Amino acid sequence: MLRRRLHPLATVAALVFVASVAFGQQPVLSPNYLLSSAPALELGVAVGGVLTPASGRNFKDGSYLDVLILRAQAGESVGVLVESDAFDTYVSVFDPVGGLIAANDDAWDVSDAWNASQVTFEAALTGAYVVVVSGFSPNDLGAYTATRIEWEAPEPVLVDVSGPGIFRGTLQPGSTVAYRFTVDVAATLTATLRSLAFDTYLTLLVDGVVVAENDDFDETDSQLVVDLVPGTYVVEIAGYFPDAAGAFGLDLDW
């Protein structure tokens, strides 16, 4: 399944609708201010907010939400930390054309607050990114702070392999791991990527050009079956969301 993009949004009400669609939900009560007046996140500056019964809500679980704006340049590494001592936080981020690109519930190891959520991503587009702060449960209310934090995307990992096999590794947030191999005769490649830690995304490239990709195989796993001609190929491992991370296993057979 290819990555999906939604149309630009004019108001916060429309934005909350898109957020809801991405999670299979629809808005019940939208915020009463326009997107242009939503608080902006600046690097290192904590923005305080309060979820109240007057905040936006959604149909799926009735959780309350606030909307903030973060402006970024294409290629820029971005991090957002949301903290609260009042409720279980949840943060999601939408790109300038409305696509959901990152979401997180618990980030226990990055804050001294009772509850924290953190997302990191490398901006693919220049423009205004929408940060949605909500509670994990329908009745979560109270004060929170949201902060844009410094984060550097890790360097991609490239591993040369000499033949078929099962390869295990760990994906870092915002990074990729790639396996490069050469075939001398025509063959059929079966590449299967499995992980219990993240929703996988598998891509096959030749000279930097994508020739095949897959997101959905056996729920959150991915698989490619491709006929190869002699040449050098790269199988790239990533997560469906930019902040995906964790252990994986890649089975390459040809």
Q: Per-residue confidence at 22, pLDDT binned at 50, 70, 90?
A: very low
Q: Per-residue confidence at 62, pLDDT binned at 50, 70, 90?
A: confident
Query: What pLDDT is attached to residue 67?
Result: 92
pLDDT above 80: residue 143: yes
> Burial, 23: exposed, middle or buried (Cβ in 10 Å; 0-12, 13-18, 19+)?
middle
Q: What pTM, to 2 d.p., does this model score?
A: 0.64
What are 147-199's pLDDT values in tens digits? 999 988 788 899 999 999 999 999 987 788 999 999 999 999 999 999 999 99
pLDDT above 80: residue 58: no
What are 87-137's pLDDT values in tens digits? 999 999 999 988 888 888 888 778 888 999 999 888 989 999 999 999 998
Q: Considering the domain delimited by 157-253, tell me its CATH architecture.
A: Sandwich (2.60)
Q: How many Å from the N-terminal Cα to the C-terminal Cα in the chain?
A: 23
Query: What pLDDT is attached to residue 59?
Result: 66
Q: Where does the chain hold its CATH 2.60.120.380 domain(s)? A: 12-149, 157-253
Selected residue with higher pLDDT from 90 and 240: 90
The tokens for 22 are 């991405």
Token look-up 């409720």 returns 87
**What is the dotted CATH code of the domain comprising 12-149?**
2.60.120.380
Q: How far apart are CA 202 and CA 216, in angstroms?
A: 9
Query: What pLDDT is attached to residue 13?
Result: 38
What are 205-226's pLDDT values in tens digits? 999 899 999 998 988 999 999 9
Q: In the predicted model, what is the mean pLDDT of the chain?
A: 84
Q: What is the mean pLDDT of residues 40-49?
A: 95
Query: What pLDDT is attached to residue 98?
Result: 85
